[in-house]
Amino acid sequence: MMKMIIVTDLDGTLLDSDYSFREALPALNEIKARKVPLVICSSKTRKEIEQIRMELHNNHPFISENGGGIFIPNGYFTFQISHHGFQIKEDEKYIVIKLGADYAVLKNALAELREKGFHIKGFGDMSIREVKELTGLKYSDAERAKERDFDEPFVFKGRSKEMTRLKRIILAKGLTYTQGEFFHIMGDSDKGRAVNIIKELYQKQYGDVMTIALGDSPNDIEMLQNVDYPVVVQKKDGSYNREVIRKVRKCIKADGIGPDGWNKTVIELLETMIP
């Protein structure tokens, strides 16, 4: 039987506006019962995702900071992990595949952009309290959100013409950008590239795999484009992000907002694809 792998975004997808996954519990319990790996793929940091994994009792690999890093628990796969072209290191908990830029490079790039007159402010330029007020996170979670490795969220104040110029300069620096709840500056990495590496690892372990991904924002586009069954969940107002719908072919539109839509669609797919 083909192995099913589920990849999910967090904010606005598995988590609601209060950062709760309660509405998705029936599907989460069914996933565990059927031993389907749930791989978190988020703009959140390692420490933020670790906290959520602990609450979910999740022990599967995860992808942090918009594809900047892949974290594979030690001993998770039965083979030695290697990947040409990317830096791989092992710490006390994980084998880490680094795809993103060094955080210091991103901080310096934002400083240079400010010198050019752009009104931008990154998480690294904010206090924990400022991040808390901006995001609605608890103080401890805001502290985790500031401990970044590969990606820097930032707020931008300016007209669309200035945003176009800002993006052009970021690309000229050899960096990239994306947008979820905030703008993000990062290296030559994205969720799609990270998901493809994860797929290769699961294929090496199990043979053929069937992949499902769930997301809601433009920073999920590459992730959704690189799986068999891309699912777009509704935004808080009940709409679907137009850019995501336009760029992700044959996507499944979840019938519900955030974790409610996540729950309904995952249960339906489980019942349809795994007898």
Instruction: Please name the residue that has the structure tokens 């994205």.
Output: 190
- Which residues share a beta bridge with 40? 8, 62
Write the CA distances from 213 to 83, 164, 171, integer angstroms. Answer: 23, 29, 27
Distances (CA, A) of 228 to 86, 111, 250: 25, 40, 10
Catalytic, 228? Answer no
Q: What are phi and psi of 173, to 5 degrees?
A: -80, 0
Picking from 35, 8, 65, 17, the residue whose alpha carbon sits closest to that of residue 223 is 8
DSSP annotation of 103 reads H
Candidates 9, 16, 149, 151; catalytic one: 9
- Quick one: which of 82, 43, 75, 80 has its CA closest to 61? 75
Q: Residue 34 in contact with residue 274, Cβ under 8 Å?
A: yes
**CA distances in angstroms from 190 to 99, 121, 152, 242, listed in the order given:** 8, 22, 13, 20
Name the helix (H) or strand (E) containing 252. Answer: strand 252-257
CA angle 262, 37, 8 (to 5 degrees): 35
Residue type at position 75: G
Catalytic annotation, residues: 9
